[in-house]
Structure 1
Amino acid sequence: MLLVDCSNCRRALELPPGAHSIRCAICHAVTRIADSRSLQPPPPQGFYSSTHQHQPYYPPPPPPFTAPSPYNHAPRGPPPAVHGRKRAVICGISYRNSRHELKGCINDAKCMKYLLVNKFNFPESAILMLNEEEADPYRHPIKSNIRMALYWLVQGCQPGDSLVFHYSGHGSQKRNYTGDEIDGYDETLCPLDFQTQGMIIDDEINETIVRPLPRGVKLHAIIDACHSGTVLDLPFLCRMDRTGRYVWEDHRPRSGVWKGTSGGEVISFSGCDDNQTSADTDALSRITSTGAMTYSFIQAIERGQATTYGAMLNAMRSTIRNTDDDLGGGGGIVTSLLTMLLTGGSGGGLRQEPQLTANEPFDVYAKPFSI
């Protein structure tokens, strides 16, 4: 891949081999290769040019940064224009026509957008939606587009901004060899092209949207995926102790690597613990299926149960425990958009517990929930 600066917003883009132009997923400007600052990625160590068999290849020196970046993968160039005091990235992946197919994820994304616009007054123009149904290929939830969307979410944010990242899709784990994970595994999100391009690990997510967050900015993440308990790598995890009260566990890495913010606030709701899986249903059509965690999150808000973060977590867990689990695939929730936003389900239960993590511990019983 070649790195190319967008001719309009100067965001770094990945130009596929042989292509002579590329359109930016954010500002939609078309950049010709003549407008670019292109670099061939350095080849593996020991690589020799096929035309100069005995002469090692030395890559050109990298260009100077135009501004210091708090995280390694930030696109070069000036930050993009602020898109409002409220911004959101919503990603729903169905993995359609594959053995990994999920039925509820695109509906999760649509329902979350509906909630943010109609309940929390997010401007539609400030919501970046990624799913397979989008006509714009740069809005498809492939790895490079998700990375670009996460960069967009936090860049240019200012005190008073409220940011949301919602993801509904597959999650997984990879062996961690640095000793930073208590269970020995990094948590991951699975883009649409994860089988060829790889997964997005929690270290990168933390580095991209957590560590650069400045003071006065609040980010909420709602992650409806398997193994997602600590997928933002936040330092503190809320657990229920033997007395039935929530307490904070310290998950700061023993290596001392900083996993907090630059003064901002990050709170994440996830579908299940790191060693659990999240429910999806294939009992009915894609029009009516949703993910259990997204359903319980929206229902808690619509029912007025989201007064504090502790009340929110209790309501979500209660909804999932009481949800009918006789649907296809061993569990799930099936409802229309209107029913999902205004009413609830009843019945058996699902084997997953929504989790709450944060960059700093706080009193979950006293802190009001707000986006």
Structure 2
Amino acid sequence: MTSVLCRVLGREDVIGYSGARPTPEPAAAVNPAPSIAVPVLGHVASSGPSGERYALCVGINDFQNLPRGSWLNGCVNDAKDFAEVLGAGYGFADHQIEVLTNAAATKAAVMDKLREAMDRAASDGLKHLVFTFSSHGTQIPDTSGDEADQSDEAFATYDLNQAGDQWDPATLISDDELHDLISRAPQGMLVEVVLDTCHSGSGLKALDLLPGRRPRFLPPPTPIGLERTATADPRAFRDLVSRSGAGARPVLLAGCRSDQTSADAVFEGRYNGAFTYYLLQELRTDPTRTRKVIMAAVIKSLTKGRFDQRAQLEGPVAAKNSPWGSAFAPHSG
């Protein structure tokens, strides 16, 4: 599938982890790795060709219809780095990880991959899905009437484009669409979502505009559009996972509240999302800790680095008290 998509697009932005991993950047430009080797956790040992786990890591720096000044720098690194950690410490085989970057990460491509995963979950027993997404966040008018702030959170794909006063819904992923897709996960399936985007320009502060930092936020494309999405509900991410019905309850890790901004920043000469950078540091150091403990350490690091964003952990209580990458009792919180 990866090679076919590469040929169709005429690009190499789709990275299939089916052989040697990408050559690391020169030492001076690579994030300093902790001295502790990442252990392979017994409860997520590789399932080989059975395909019981699948990871889709998406990172978008460049955008087809946006000026270069609105592009980002660290999202592709986020996706590749997360894929590396999943393979090194969480039992994902190379063929169970796909990375979509830049032109390969259109809305259709991302949603098709997620739909395929949900189809597999219903047919051949996919048990663990990881979806990471690093890009711009934005807001669009709520059309379903389920948002108190009358705005839907949305995630920009490569083909993001304008339609009238707003962004074209056909060129981004709304929180409603992501929720509806994830809610197809059957009971007993572990779904972990990591979002390193931001969703409200009202959270911008001077620190976000320092050299080497860029907020991962795009306002609506016109003044009228901005007026229609002028507020943000900080509980929106909570709703993304809490509204799930009889199926699996997903676990969500988000780089900030939905009324804040996430930073694209330089660490040791290399760009990453601040949230992803600190999260992966913690997962490499000791992945056996609970999600709650790991996220507390990430928040502490963000605060120490003078990032105003407050990372969010949403999901059942049992999920918060279990290690990242591990299943939890579905009805225990």
Could you say whether these structures have the same fold, taking a TM-score greater than 0.5 normalized by the shorter chain as the test?
yes
| Paired position in structure 2 for 1:88 | 55
CA change 1:233–1:144 in 2 (3 A) is farther
Alignment partner of 1:351 is 2:280: no
User: Which amino acid is the alignment partner of residue 258 of structure 2?
Assistant: D
SS at 1:353's partner residue? coil
Moved more, 195-204 or 214-223: 195-204
- Of the three residues 75, 91, 106, the one matched with 1:121 is 91
SS at 1:155's partner residue? helix
1:293/1:316 contact within 8 Å kept: yes
SS at 2:145's partner residue? coil
Summarize deviations over 1:251-309 as a string: whole Å, max 9, x none. xxxxxxxx314432310101100110100026986xx2111111121112122276112
Greater Rg over alpha carbons, structure: 1
User: Which amino acid is the alignment partner of residue 255 of structure 2?
Assistant: G
| Paired position in structure 2 for 1:271 | 255
1:90/1:113 contact within 8 Å kept: yes
5+ residue gaps, structure 1: 1-8, 10-22, 29-81, 237-258, 324-348
SS at 2:292's partner residue? helix
Summarize deviations over 1:233-260 as a string: whole Å, max 9, x none. 4243xxxxxxxxxxxxxxxxxxxxxx31
Query: Structure 1: how far apart are the matches of 2:7 and 2:252?
Result: 28
Q: TM-score, normalised by structure 2?
A: 0.64
- Of the three residues 198, 211, 224, the one matched with 2:183 is 211
Q: How does 1:1-371 map to 2 (within 5 A)?
A: 25=5, 84-95=51-62, 98-132=68-102, 140-157=104-121, 161-195=127-161, 197-208=170-181, 210-227=182-199, 230=236, 233-236=239-242, 259-281=243-265, 288-304=270-286, 307-323=289-305, 349-358=306-315, 361-363=316-318, 366-371=321-326
User: Which amino acid is the alignment partner of residue 357 of structure 1?
Assistant: E
CA change 1:192–1:265 in 2 (3 A) is same
Matched residue count:
239
Query: Structure 1: how far apart are the matches of 2:296 and 2:266?
Result: 27
- RMSD over aligned Cα, in angstroms? 2.9
Summarize deviations over 1:306-360 as a string: whole Å, max 9, x none. 611221221111111112xxxxxxxxxxxxxxxxxxxxxxxxx1010111222xx
1:271/1:353 contact within 8 Å kept: yes
2:185/2:248 contact within 8 Å kept: yes
Task: Give me the identity figure in percent.
Answer: 26
Query: Structure 1: how far apart are the matches of 2:55 and 2:96?
Result: 6
**Hey, which of these two has a bigger chunk of helix by percent?**
2
- Runs (4+) of structure 1 exceeding 2 A deviation are 23-28, 227-236, 281-285, 363-371
Query: Structure 2: how far apart are the matches of 1:88 and 1:365?
Result: 20
Query: Structure 1: how far apart are the matches of 2:177 and 2:196?
Result: 18
5+ residue gaps, structure 2: 9-48, 163-169, 201-233, 327-333
